[in-house]
Structure 1
Amino acid sequence: MKTTLLYLMLLASLCLSAQQSTNTSFGTQMSSTFANLDKTRVPYGMLSDFSMEFTALPAFQGTLNDSSYVHPGTLKQLYKTLLFSRVTTSTQGFVPYNNFENNWENARKKKTIVLSGLFYRYSKFLDNAYPDKITISNNKIYDKYVNGIWQNPYHAQKAFAISPSTINYKSLDMLVKFPASLWYSNVGSQVQSIQINFNDGGGYQTLNPGHEKYIQYSSAGVKIWVYKLTLSTGEILYSHSKINVDMGISSRPYGSKTSHTGDRPGVDTLHFTATTPHLGKFGNATVLINYGNTVDQIRKPLIIAEGLDMGAVTSPEEPFGNSDIENFENTVLASDSEELGDIVNANEGILNDQEYDIIYVNWSNGTDYLQRNAYVLQEVIKWVNEEKAKVGSTTPNVVLGQSMGGVIARYALKDMENKGLPHDTRTYISHDAPHLGANVPLGYQFAARHGRSQYVQSPFQLLAGDVIVPLFNDGVGVSDYLELLDQPAAKQLLVQRVNTNYTSDNITHLEWQTELRNMGYPQLTERNVSIANGNQCAITQGFYPANTLLSINGFAKTGWLTDMLTNFTGYGVYANNAIFLAATIFTIEPGFLFGLLPGNSKLTADINIKALPAYGQTAQIYSGKLTFTKKLLWLININVNLTDRSFDPLPIPCLMIISLGELSLRVLQVPQ
């Protein structure tokens, strides 16, 4: 559980808006090389040879193959490449890149899949453009005339792609929307219709921009959506994407007495709002209830406080965020323990077999202030006690907090005691909770900050503004995690946090730790239990001070940040890779983890991430050098040194042995 939290913190560090470093060298070199070319003759005012290619445009010309699957990251890479191919200040079919991203993000909401797509016509140099149709002198390109007749060196091309807003969805039914504002084209008048085969047995269904359609599947699994674009000329182009559809949860409002439908796990739901504000705002949560031995009655409650849930930020489509009661129960059942299984699941045909009523507290904002969610948990506990009293149950509660939820539950219970409010809790269980804070290796934080801060500028403005886009764009859409590290929970929990200036910013964490330490632990429970995911056999994390955690030396791709994630070894290769890879179904597809680049473009990376040196010593923990090379017409080299930075460790706390009070647990805090 804590491993998951640490991984999510790393994801967050990837996406915080760092100090922007904009490289203008590429645009300057391209402007010089193409300065003498008559750009008014370039078809559609777009030339792929002029662009910084973030992905391979030829893979998306309307035919289906293993390299042409489109996910959110792919669509962003395509749009950036096309945006940079403009050889004039024409705005036809384009919006600023920030608008492209923000329009999509703002349209996302629960139980809805939002499509975005593009269709552009552009041009490229013919294979025999040089020397037959252009001339080159001193690395500059000129138009060629033969007997006063201009030689056309261009070949018309097309790019078509559509993507859903997410690659995973936990429900068999969904609303698919295709807002007109999310369809981009410089030749929109040529489009006759768009049809989609949702892989639901219904064949192609018309869904033009500005329309929506309700889709329902009979089974879970990987669904391949095929998009069919019909042009006014009769020409047909195709695009496709994959989405992993999970069965999800069948839910009904608490007290409705209606039956659950289908084979999906059934729960009752009830929304809660805190009555105590924190910093002027009230927290919210949805409780998911899986009854034990008596349906519609709570008699023996096990209250689960969920951990860090980024769903409100990264997966707004999901009804219950990134984690829910189904994840919890599946984890318990995966233990193969019959005793644990009986807590959350009844064996068919055995009377009174499920031991507890599961009350799963699903935060509306799983990255909010810990105090705010603690106050919501207090309302849930009070309600559970009232429900027990209605049916005559005197069984005290068991409150289990997962990861961050363990800290929230501790705060909630002790605060109730301080206020004289009965929580009627027999056992408080802290499951792998970061009571002292969470640690993400500083080398990874520096790398994430460095990579995320790299921007490049196009030679031509758009709408009277400079065209500046992020250099890296991951397959899973790193921008989905934008500013997550600035979310309150992350700032409160992260022990060492690298800010946008590449310095330490731990004020919020220290303030929280002081408040939590002064709060203490619940005193009116019979037992406080701590469970830590770890190893009791003296097996280390697999590295030592100053060891190399990641080294990339050679050609990279525009999905480099994802590459870094999949090699995140700071807390165990298998665990972290499993978390990341489980989030996607595209890992076997070329171009998912690594953005595809055409053969004439290369991104060279020299990246080294190391563990902290031994205490009292100083050594470099991160260095990153990136170079982009583009070969025009296999003759002209465009070489751009994008960035070259390195960092030593920040000042960090000493190693400490701290007593956790009533938990009777001693912990060695390692600031790596």
Structure 2
Amino acid sequence: MKKFTFSFIFFVAISITGKAQDPHYEYEQIADSLFGLLDTSYITTGYHADRGIFFYNHKAFDGESNSQSMQHYGMFKSFIAGIYTSSISEAHQPNDYANWEDDLQSILHSGKTPLLFMHYRYQQFLEDSVTLFQYVNLMNGRLHDVAGSAGNAYSTENLVAIAAYAHKIIDTLNAVFKLPSDFVLGNTNKTIQQLEMDWDNGLGYQSFTLNEDIVVEWLNFGEKTVTLKVTYTDDTVVYAKFKLSLIDTQENSSAEKLANGAPGYDAIPDDRIYIQSGRSQNLGAMMEIEYGCGNHAITKPLIVVEGFNPAEFFDNPRGLVYRDFFLSIRNFENRDFINEFPLFTQLQEEGYDIVYIDFDQGAGDLRENAYVVMAVIDWVNEQKANNNSEEANVLLGISMGGVVGRLALLYMEDEAPNTHDVSYYISFDSPHLGANVPVGFQFMIEHLYYSETIGILRIRDFVPELEDAHNVLGYEGTKQLLRYSTVQARQDQSNDNIFNKRNWFTSQNEYTTAGGNLINSSHSSILSELNILGMPAETAENIGIANGNSDGDNQGFQPMSNIFSAFCDQTGGCLQVTWFNFNIRYDINVRALPNFSSNPSEIYNGRIWHRMFNSFNVNIAKRFVLEVENVRPYDNSPGGSYNVAMFGLDQIPFEIDNILDEFSFIPTASALNIQSEINNPNFTFNPALLVSNSQTNFDAIYVLDPSKYAPNAAPNNEEHTAFTPSNISAFETSMFPPVINDINTTPTIVSETFNFGRN
């Protein structure tokens, strides 16, 4: 007969004591109350697993050859948390491992993937409940040893696990690993005699030692199950496994494509060349090159500067962003508006060589990436000279790329006039006056990110989307682009520790912080520089494209609208994350920015707590309330719209009651650099007069034009950086010359010379 689940025992204990109300108990107080009277002399390992919290089934990692595989690093950390909460003595504190992330990142950045290994021995209650209750009983809500019993109520088990800090390997069949001795954890006091690893590459077990570089090669891509075999000097052997994913983003390589003579453009670049920044060490970009006219040399360049690209945070391998760009052009012609706007075909027929810049740090400092663009332009011009081409460059900056490209051209004009050879600079829905991500969303991401559970385990360890989203908000490029940044604003106000990261079980349940001035210093600095430098002066034309409208039409909701809400306080429901009956409860509400007012407005109210064993609530983090004042209603303003899914919010495994589909990411005033109206984001204007009235320093602008969609209905605002009927003319007028006889439909005689084209 199997034992009752521990959650049942705990539930009975709480029921008897009558403490099933809603107080906030510290976890250790609860565990000590239930287990504190037991004789611990049988807990020889120092760890009693039944009092611990394990977020995954630790029993499946028992060191046997058929044990389960570790899926990711977060699972490994959860086992550490489980071990610490199982301790019968003073619990280890998370700051014992405060330098873990820095050390692991350091190894990873050196080109090696760090490994971590644990082997812990622990005690747990006997599985047979009949035998168990001969030694342990429950009285008055507490566990007691049965008087006069002389048996052992516990079995001794192994927890053996190995994990790779990064479990994805991109576009290579070779990798280097390292198992540092500092990351070999355990309490067995055994001495390792031999370490062997089967890398699932057909070579069987290969010996290695601690702290050495382990060079591994595979024959094919796909998921691999790697098995560690540890032999101790007492001849005991344990096994541990982990998963690796070898991902090929360049199926059908460029070399193969060229060798097969594949005609025309496709989503697989003809060439991939890395270029180093001339200013910053260890910074550069991969140039994804698609040659025009079936040639293998650059003669007519279209330089595309990628937009904001947090790919390094979302496991989006290099190359996929270029592929997305390319497919967006092709789908515009072949799917969205079939045979109406042949942009894809025209690019090919005109023989443009596409040079797509994929930055090393797609969310990095805008100035640093501008230096990379300068290096690319120099390289392109050198290639043109070698190929005897006198064609000028066209530079297309997508979103953030429009700002970075603008800086690069301005820097080149200042340092070495008449060298960039760019005729048309096209800014595609770029945030010249700043981008917008709802402040309430930003604050929610930070609140969830800093919410801790037990020991060193955090919510973000088992909800990786939080890690991704938080990293995106914290990078320099993000802070430079956002008009309102909660991360930078807190740093500017020396209020960077409001989330009280290390104080997770607390009776205090509320913290209110005023937003104050959310225009952050990083954004103000880059904005000031752009305003001083102006627009490139050596181009033939500077073109600004906005995906927003000119009529003041909003995104379909009002200021202070509820744009996200999630609530769950159900028994057995919510975010179930444990092997036992333990889950996370939440009550979160996010509102859009208000209209400008000096009165504080609440745009975030969130509380997160544990429900343990269906009986106790324990705070993970305080309730946080964010109030703002003197802000502009950018969330619903006219502009290129962005889907919340891009920040991973739809992937957070919450019971979401309401979530906004789209918000204004690049306000129209920002995309068109209308400085006089950026504080009035819902303004209206006549696009035909904007340039002539000097409201913008672009030479030509394109904005959502409903007439271009006829006979179909136009959206209120277009998707950010979408190729649409409204903006296709920006490319046609700048990049494609008129077709013969488009100007003169009938040949005319001029000085006895037939002229079928331009005068």
Are 2:394 and 2:424, in contact at CA under 8 Å, matched by a contact in 1? yes
Q: For each residue in 1:377-407, what CA deviation from the matched residue of structure 2 results, as whole angstroms up to 9, or x when unmatched?
A: 2232233223312322110001112221111
Are 1:194 and 1:227, in contact at CA under 8 Å, matched by a contact in 2? no
Compute the TM-score of the two structures, normalised by the length of structure 1. 0.71
Residue 410, structure 1, aligned to residue 406, structure 2: yes
**Aligned match of 2:591 in 602, 606, 610?**
610
Q: CA deviation at 1:553?
A: 1.7
Q: CA deviation at 1:168?
A: 4.1
In structure 2, distance between residues paired with 1:629 and 1:523: 62
One-letter amino acid of the structure 1 residue matched with residue 606 of structure 2: G
Compute the TM-score of the two structures, normalised by the length of structure 2. 0.64
126-135 or 537-546: bigger deviation: 537-546
Q: For each residue in 1:457-483, what CA deviation from the matched residue of structure 2 results, as whole angstroms up to 9, or x when unmatched?
A: 65xxxxxxxxx5535423437556776
Label 1:238 to 1:624 Cα distance change in 2 as closer, same or farther (>3 A): same
Residue 425, structure 1, aligned to residue 422, structure 2: yes
Could you say which residue in structure 2 is the equivalent of 1:440?
Answer: 437
In structure 2, distance between residues paired with 1:614 and 1:538: 14
Q: CA deviation at 1:551?
A: 1.5
Could you say which residue in structure 1 is the equivalent of 2:47?
Answer: 46
Q: CA deviation at 1:524?
A: 3.1
Superposition pairs of residues 264-279 of structure 1, within 5 angstroms: 266-275=270-279
**Aligned match of 1:455 in 448, 452, 456?**
452
Label 1:45 to 1:274 Cα distance change in 2 as closer, same or farther (>3 A): same
In structure 2, distance between residues paired with 1:649 and 1:405: 30
**Aligned match of 2:464 in 471, 476, 480?**
476
Label 1:212 to 1:60 Cα distance change in 2 as closer, same or farther (>3 A): same
Superposition pairs of residues 309-388 of structure 1, within 5 angstroms: 309-310=309-310, 321=318, 325-335=322-332, 337=334, 339-341=342-344, 355-388=351-384
Could you say which residue in structure 1 is the equivalent of 2:530?
Answer: 516
Could you say which residue in structure 1 is the equivalent of 2:214?
Answer: 212
One-letter amino acid of the structure 1 residue matched with residue 609 of structure 2: T
Q: Secondary structure at the match of 2:425?
A: strand
Label 1:62 to 1:160 Cα distance change in 2 as closer, same or farther (>3 A): same
**Aligned match of 1:622 in 604, 607, 626?**
604
Label 1:605 to 1:524 Cα distance change in 2 as closer, same or farther (>3 A): same
Q: CA deviation at 1:493?
A: 0.8
Q: Secondary structure at the match of 1:401?
A: strand
Are 2:61 and 2:67, in contact at CA under 8 Å, matched by a contact in 1? no
In structure 1, distance between residues paired with 2:572 and 2:308: 30
Q: Secondary structure at the match of 2:462?
A: coil
Residue 664, structure 1, aligned to residue 697, structure 2: no
Could you say which residue in structure 1 is the equivalent of 2:161?
Answer: 161
**Aligned match of 2:581 in 600, 605, 627?**
600
One-letter amino acid of the structure 2 residue matched with residue 162 of structure 1: I
Could you say which residue in structure 1 is the equivalent of 2:669?
Answer: none
Q: For each residue in 1:338-385, what CA deviation from the matched residue of structure 2 results, as whole angstroms up to 9, or x when unmatched?
A: 95545888xxxxxxx782223233333333321222133223223322
Superposition pairs of residues 187-336 of structure 1, within 5 angstroms: 187=188, 189=190, 210=211, 212-218=214-220, 220=221, 222-227=222-227, 229=229, 237=239, 239-241=241-243, 243=245, 245-248=247-250, 266-275=270-279, 284-293=284-293, 297-310=297-310, 321=318, 325-335=322-332
In structure 1, distance between residues paired with 2:519 and 2:42: 53
Could you say which residue in structure 2 is the equivalent of 1:100?
Answer: 100
Q: CA deviation at 1:433?
A: 2.0
In structure 1, distance between residues paired with 2:571 and 2:376: 49
Q: For each residue in 1:84-142, what CA deviation from the matched residue of structure 2 results, as whole angstroms up to 9, or x when unmatched?
A: 322235989x9933333333322214875444343333222335387432344554444
In structure 1, distance between residues paired with 2:594 and 2:113: 46
One-letter amino acid of the structure 2 residue matched with residue 185 of structure 1: G
Are 1:39 and 1:88, in contact at CA under 8 Å, matched by a contact in 2? no
In structure 1, distance between residues paired with 2:110 and 2:309: 15
One-letter amino acid of the structure 1 residue matched with residue 522 of structure 2: T
Q: Secondary structure at the match of 2:106?
A: helix
Q: CA deviation at 1:452?
A: 2.3
Structure 2: any 5+ residue segments left out of the alignment? 1-23, 263-267, 491-495, 499-512, 633-678, 686-694, 705-715, 718-759
Q: For each residue in 1:277-320, what CA deviation from the matched residue of structure 2 results, as whole angstroms up to 9, or x when unmatched?
A: 8xxx89644444444347663211121222334466777xx9x8
Label 1:262 to 1:152 Cα distance change in 2 as closer, same or farther (>3 A): farther
Q: CA deviation at 1:627?
A: 2.6
Q: Secondary structure at the match of 1:27?
A: helix
Q: Which has the higher contact order (CA 8 A, sep 6+)?
A: 1
Label 1:268 to 1:665 Cα distance change in 2 as closer, same or farther (>3 A): closer
Could you say which residue in structure 2 is the equivalent of 1:652?
Answer: 631
Label 1:427 to 1:40 Cα distance change in 2 as closer, same or farther (>3 A): farther
Could you say which residue in structure 2 is the equivalent of 1:79?
Answer: 80
Q: CA deviation at 1:640?
A: 1.8
Q: Secondary structure at the match of 2:593?
A: coil
Label 1:112 to 1:411 Cα distance change in 2 as closer, same or farther (>3 A): same
In structure 2, distance between residues paired with 1:557 and 1:424: 65
Superposition pairs of residues 26-45 of structure 1, within 5 angstroms: 26-45=27-46
Q: For each residue in 1:642-668, what CA deviation from the matched residue of structure 2 results, as whole angstroms up to 9, or x when unmatched?
A: 332333345313533495431435799
Are 1:309 and 1:323, in contact at CA under 8 Å, matched by a contact in 2? no
Q: Secondary structure at the match of 2:276?
A: strand
Label 1:342 to 1:612 Cα distance change in 2 as closer, same or farther (>3 A): same
Could you say which residue in structure 2 is the equivalent of 1:17?
Answer: none
Q: CA deviation at 1:492?
A: 0.8
Are 1:342 and 1:355, in contact at CA under 8 Å, matched by a contact in 2? no
Are 1:249 and 1:326, in contact at CA under 8 Å, matched by a contact in 2? no
One-letter amino acid of the structure 2 residue matched with residue 547 of structure 1: N
Label 1:481 to 1:450 Cα distance change in 2 as closer, same or farther (>3 A): closer
Label 1:342 to 1:272 Cα distance change in 2 as closer, same or farther (>3 A): farther
**Aligned match of 1:549 in 546, 555, 564?**
564
In structure 2, distance between residues paired with 1:189 and 1:535: 70
Residue 493, structure 1, aligned to residue 493, structure 2: no
Are 1:311 and 1:366, in contact at CA under 8 Å, matched by a contact in 2? yes
Are 1:249 and 1:266, in contact at CA under 8 Å, matched by a contact in 2? no
One-letter amino acid of the structure 2 residue matched with residue 26 of structure 1: Y
One-letter amino acid of the structure 1 residue matched with residue 608 of structure 2: L
One-letter amino acid of the structure 1 residue matched with residue 431 of structure 2: P
Label 1:262 to 1:230 Cα distance change in 2 as closer, same or farther (>3 A): farther
Q: Secondary structure at the match of 2:175?
A: strand
One-letter amino acid of the structure 2 residue matched with residue 506 of structure 1: N
